[in-house]
Amino acid sequence: MQLANLDMDVLRTLAVAMDLGGFAKAAGRLGRSQSAVSLQMRRLEDRVGRPLFRRQGRNLALTEAGDVVLSYARRILELNDQAVAAARGLALEGSVRFGVPQDFGDTWLPAVLARFTRMHPSVLIEVRVDRTHKLVERIAQGRLDLALLWSSPALPNTKIVRRLPMVWVGRKGLSYAPDEQIPLALFEPPCVFQQPGVEALEKAKRRWRLAFTSPSLSGLWAAAAAGLGVTVRTPLGVPAPLAVLARSSGLPKLPQLALSLYGGEANPPPAIVRLREILLDELPSAIGGAY
């Protein structure tokens, strides 16, 4: 049997499409038409000789063969990117001080750091996982080179990379009667999530009380899991047994929240530039195509 060579560009399109949740979003990200992306996927199916996609409601999902191809595509692309980075950056050295909110610390961050370290083992990377206002303080003190931040603080060289919905998080199936007081579990002030949550409740004429405060996200998750109250976050990293609560829970709709990237000084060293590139490349898969 003659083996087929898979096109690296097509594999990258597949990975981007599945990260973002569809061909249309992948087309926008890659600067191509949706028909061009669809054609690439049909050619990939022809190469493999198996259907890779199936209809799931109004969306496309992968077949069993599609899951296999996507898994290998990610490994092939990572090896490709490592080879290119190694060839271009053999002398890449220095250090990077990176700050990230707690929402990313346990899930997305380890894979990003592992990828960067494999590509650039001579670069020393220091990471601070903390609340946004603490990260902003460290930036002002000159103690961070890069940082992901909730909201869009007035810092130089900072841009919004995505807007995400804020949601109510609590135990699965939780709901409140129209006259019931809402117990809240929130960070200690200052907190970028607190004011939008309180304002939404007051606009909906819902009574509320602050039932629990914590300096850590794990504390909020524990309080919500124990039934002490509901909290306000984004859909990222919500642990079991908690869930994003639907409008049927009796809680009002919340606004969106910006996720921003502080990019450091105007002309940063190569190590900082490289980590920033990897962050922007990995964020879509962390956030998902639904947001």
Claim to verify: residue 145 and residue 33 sit in the same structural domain: no
The pLDDT value recorded for residue 89 is 58
User: How far lies 253's CA from each of 169, 192, 246, in Å?
Assistant: 12, 16, 9
* Vertex 163: Cα angle to 248 and 227 (nearest 5): 40
Closest alpha carbon to 254 in 186, 172, 195: 195
Claim to verify: residue 63 and residue 113 sit in the same structural domain: no
DSSP class of residue 181 equals: P
Q: Do the domain assignments include residue 104?
A: yes
The pLDDT value recorded for residue 245 is 96
The pLDDT value recorded for residue 91 is 59
Strands 94-100 and 146-150: parallel
Q: Do the domain assignments include residue 244?
A: yes
Q: Do the domain assignments include residue 242?
A: yes
- Could you list the residue range(s) of the whole structural domain that residue 35 is in? 8-87
Domain end, chosen from 87, 119, 154, is at 87
Q: Do the domain assignments include residue 105?
A: yes
**Does the predicted TM-score (pTM) go above 0.75?**
no
The CATH number of residue 152's host domain is: 3.40.190.10
Q: Is 256 helix (H, G, I), strand (E, B) or coil?
A: strand
Dihedral of CA 142/103/283/117: which sign?
A: positive
Q: Do the domain assignments include residue 28?
A: yes
Query: How many domains, in total, are found in the chain?
Result: 3
Claim to verify: residue 76 and residue 17 sit in the same structural domain: yes
Claim to verify: residue 115 and residue 171 sit in the same structural domain: no
How far apart CA 150 and CA 259 sit, in angstroms, is 5
Domain end, chosen from 58, 87, 116, is at 87
Closest alpha carbon to 259 in 162, 156, 186, 191: 162
The backbone torsions φ and ψ at residue 180, rounded to the nearest 5 degrees and listed phi first, read -85, 140
Claim to verify: residue 109 and residue 232 sit in the same structural domain: no
Claim to verify: residue 40 and residue 103 sit in the same structural domain: no
The pLDDT value recorded for residue 291 is 43
Q: Do the domain assignments include residue 230?
A: yes
H or E element in which residue 232 lies: strand 231-233
Claim to verify: residue 279 and residue 244 sit in the same structural domain: no
How far apart CA 254 and CA 245 sit, in angstroms, is 12
Q: Do the domain assignments include residue 3?
A: no
Claim to verify: residue 109 and residue 223 sit in the same structural domain: no
Per-position pLDDT tens, the chain of length 291: 567 788 989 999 999 888 888 888 888 888 889 899 999 999 999 999 999 998 877 677 899 999 999 999 988 988 887 777 667 655 578 999 999 999 988 778 888 888 888 888 889 999 999 999 999 999 999 999 999 999 988 888 899 999 999 999 999 999 999 999 999 999 988 999 999 999 999 999 999 999 999 999 999 999 999 999 999 999 988 998 899 999 999 999 999 999 999 988 888 898 999 899 889 888 877 776 434
Claim to verify: residue 44 and residue 184 sit in the same structural domain: no
Claim to verify: residue 185 and residue 246 sit in the same structural domain: yes
The CATH number of residue 72's host domain is: 1.10.10.10
